[in-house]
Amino acid sequence: MLSRINSVKTSFFGKGAVSLLIPELKKMGIRRVLIVTDPFLYKSGAAEYVGKALAEAGAAYAVYHHVQPNPTVEIVNDCITAVKTLQIDLLVAVGGGSAIDTAKAASIVAANGGRVEDYEGVGKSSKPGIPIVAVNTTAGTGSECTSFYIVTDPVRHSKMAMVDPNCMVTIAVNDIELMMSMPPKLTASTGLDALTHAIEALLARGANPMTDRDALWAMETVWRYLPRAVRDGRDEEARTQMAYAEYAAGMAFSNAGLGMVHAMAHALGGHSNLPHGVCNAVLLPYVTEFNAEHSTEARERIPEISKALSLPDERPYTLVRALRTTAMELGIPRTLKDMGGVSPEDFGSLADLALKDACMADNLYTPTREEVIKVYENAWSGI
């Protein structure tokens, strides 16, 4: 099998890691920076915390602080206007997947031209975008180390998945200081997104020995430390382990691919504007059960997951039950019905979108439309 591994050139980890940017940016000779963040992180002082390091590196910066969860085409276009008007030579995303994905989309479109919609799918840009530093504040989407980004198309009520090595950031920063104040709900949903990345990467068509190693270590670590990080946000050890684990999960899926959970979650999130991590966490047990039933290869890998999660036995049923119970203990709704924002009449159109999503091609088994609808129905009723 032929494999390709993409990775970020430089990544910084640890409490206070933002300070490590100063000598790097000095070397790069960066002058005009746009910080891309959301209103909450702007007000909380996180953008300023990063801005201080930029100023010390001799860069002038402006702040675009209008990023919203599930960023839309409109937000990306807004950001591109700022990039062009201010003649920006570096984007510094401060936030989770939404801020980093906005910066990736703006970077690709500003450098390659056209519209953001033109880049939906795999490898659509011809050259790298404007350099990006991603200061990640959640653990997480892994967006700081992946070749993926997601933009919501409000016209089609769907999420466009872009897979493109040209969007990868130049420097990734996981500064624990910025993660300590993440509220329990966000810690849980982003942490379960990372768990989903690890499990889907292990079961993806593009999995290889290196992505397997990252995926298995990531799921073991998330399983062990996420409940602690949710219980006590100031638990530095738990936050540190989660930062490394979500990064490892990001590396795994960026190079192996994802699968049916993400394809169905993207359709769901685009429709209902619900948090990505929550959509994944609700769907993960049902899709895992479905894949174990329909794919021999997936079924054969379940024991590896069970072992990483220290489950009492290797049956798919035990894994599915553990995934459901743990998500509920972390405050995730048990079913799509409990989650709200969607109803069974939507499942046909959601299945159509999920089947077209770039992540579906990575799933070991290709489901029919009826099968995707059935999995949505099971997740709705909790069967």
Which of the stretches 9-17, 71-79, 193-201, 350-358 binds Fe ion when contact is defined by CB under 5 A? 193-201
| Closest distance to Fe ion from the beta carbon of 266 (Å) | 9
Closest distance between Fe ion and the C-beta of residue 250, in Å?
9
Residue 199, C-beta contacts closer than 8 angstroms, at least 6 positions apart: 215, 219, 261, 284, 288, 305
Q: How far is the CB of 153 from Fe ion (least distance, A)?
A: 18
- Report helix angle 184-203 to 236-256, nearest 10: 40
Binding status of residue 200 toward Fe ion by CB under 5 A: no
Q: Does residue 71 contact residue 36 with C-beta atoms inside 8 Å? A: no
Sheet containing 148-153: which strands, arranged edge to edge? 121-122, 158-163, 148-153
* Shortest Å, Cβ 195 to Fe ion: 10
Q: Measuring CA to CA, how many Å separate 9 from each of 28, 138, 369?
A: 13, 20, 40
Of 71-79, 187-195, 234-242, 371-379, which segment contacts Fe ion by CB under 5 A? 187-195
Does residue number 193 form part of the binding site for Fe ion (CB under 5 A)?
Answer: yes
- CA-closest candidate to residue 290, choices 354, 352, 364: 364
Q: Please, which residues bridge with residue 268 across strands? A: none
For Fe ion, the nearest residue by Cβ is 193
Stretch that binds Fe ion, among 31-39, 85-93, 170-178, 190-198 (CB under 5 A): 190-198
Q: Enter the DSSP assignment of 67.
A: -
- Name which of 11 and 254 has its Cβ closer to Fe ion: 254
The residue range among 81-89, 174-182, 188-196, 316-324 that interacts with Fe ion, by the rule CB under 5 A, is 188-196
Helix 316-329 vs helix 276-294: angle between axes, to the nearest 10 degrees? 170
User: Does 246 interact with Fe ion (rule: CB under 5 A)?
Assistant: no
Residue closest to 93 by CA, chosen among 55, 65, 135 = 135
Q: Which is nearer to Fe ion, 18 or 200 (CB)?
A: 200
* Nearest to Fe ion of 12, 149 (CB atom): 149
CB of residue 280 to Fe ion, shortest distance in Å: 6
Between 82 and 152, name the residue whose CB sits nearer to Fe ion.
Answer: 152
Comparing CB distances to Fe ion, the nearer of 193 and 362 is 193
Which range, of 2-10, 40-48, 189-197, 341-349, touches Fe ion by CB under 5 A?
A: 189-197
51 vs 95 by CB, closer to Fe ion: 95
Instruction: Identify each DSSP E strand in the chain by its residue range.
Output: 10-13, 32-36, 60-64, 90-95, 121-122, 132-136, 148-153, 158-163, 171-174
Count of residues engaged in binding Fe ion, rule: CB under 5 A: 1
Binding residues vs Fe ion (CB under 5 A): 193
